[in-house]
Amino acid sequence: MSDEWQECMDHCVEVAKEAGKMIREALQKDISIMEKSSPVDLVTETDRKVEQLIISSIKEKYPTHSVIGEESVAAGASSVLTDDPTWIIDPIDGTTNFVHRFPFVCVSIGFTVKKEVEFGIVYSCVEDKMYTARKGKGAFCNGVPIKVSGQEDIKQSLVLTEMMFNKNPERFKTMLANVKSILTIPVHGIRSPGSAAINMCLVACGSADAYYHMGIYCWDMAGGAAIIREAGGVIVDISGGPFDLMSRRLIVASTKAIADRIAKEITQFDVGRDDAKVQ
């Protein structure tokens, strides 16, 4: 099946370029903003148009494949991962960035076979950076090989996470306490670029040494998971155990030593699972 999956990946890159062009054009116009689950959970008409573009292209070429898309799930579609070849799509990862025209905005697509990520692409379309990776074939940015920093010392590390309001006061308190715990190790600093997929790619190319998050979704992680692994990085559950694509939580790091230290510092809270439809 290797040639077939390569053909799928090539198609994925082309449709991501087309989607990125649509996003860049939309940034030049007025952006219509809507709320989903909360005042900080945003969606735009462009999110929906881009997802429709990607899914239509995939279904036309690969009608028997399954699809999990962020906006489709928000509209009531299933997010259960099966053994079928499955495309997992985030049409705009970094919607809040998009709304504010903050430049870290990307299209993220992961492709799974038998529940394992076969390849992933993340197209940071404002920067025009196309990150790609396929199992056993390495990771690339615009065709140039990338690799993690290899940093072993947490105290010499730059760590990424995302911070936003949470209406659950205990979760909000825990999130802030976790940031304090990481900062006071101490690390060189914490950054929040605003896109999970781009965060993973920044670790993959050595610009940061780790990224942790609880409360994201499979479409935020699928594309980046392939890229971080093929760049030589580590991806685990927030507990330090095996990574689960449907768990809504992860630690990505340049080395196992850093991943283990972050897992030790983090206090967990329940975020549910994608396949249980618990939000």
Just list the catalytic residues.
70, 90, 92-93, 95, 220
Cα 264 to Cα 212: distance, rounded to the nearest angstrom: 12
Cβ–Cβ < 8 Å for 79, 194: no
Three-state secondary-structure class, residue 111? strand
Cβ–Cβ < 8 Å for 10, 143: no
Cα 226 to Cα 231: distance, rounded to the nearest angstrom: 9
H or E element, residue 92? strand 86-93
Query: Residue 122: which of 99, 161, 88, 147 has the closest Cα?
Result: 88
Q: E strands within 94-172?
A: 106-113, 116-124, 129-134, 138-141, 144-145, 158-160
Helix crossing, 196-204 with 218-230: angle to 10°?
A: 10
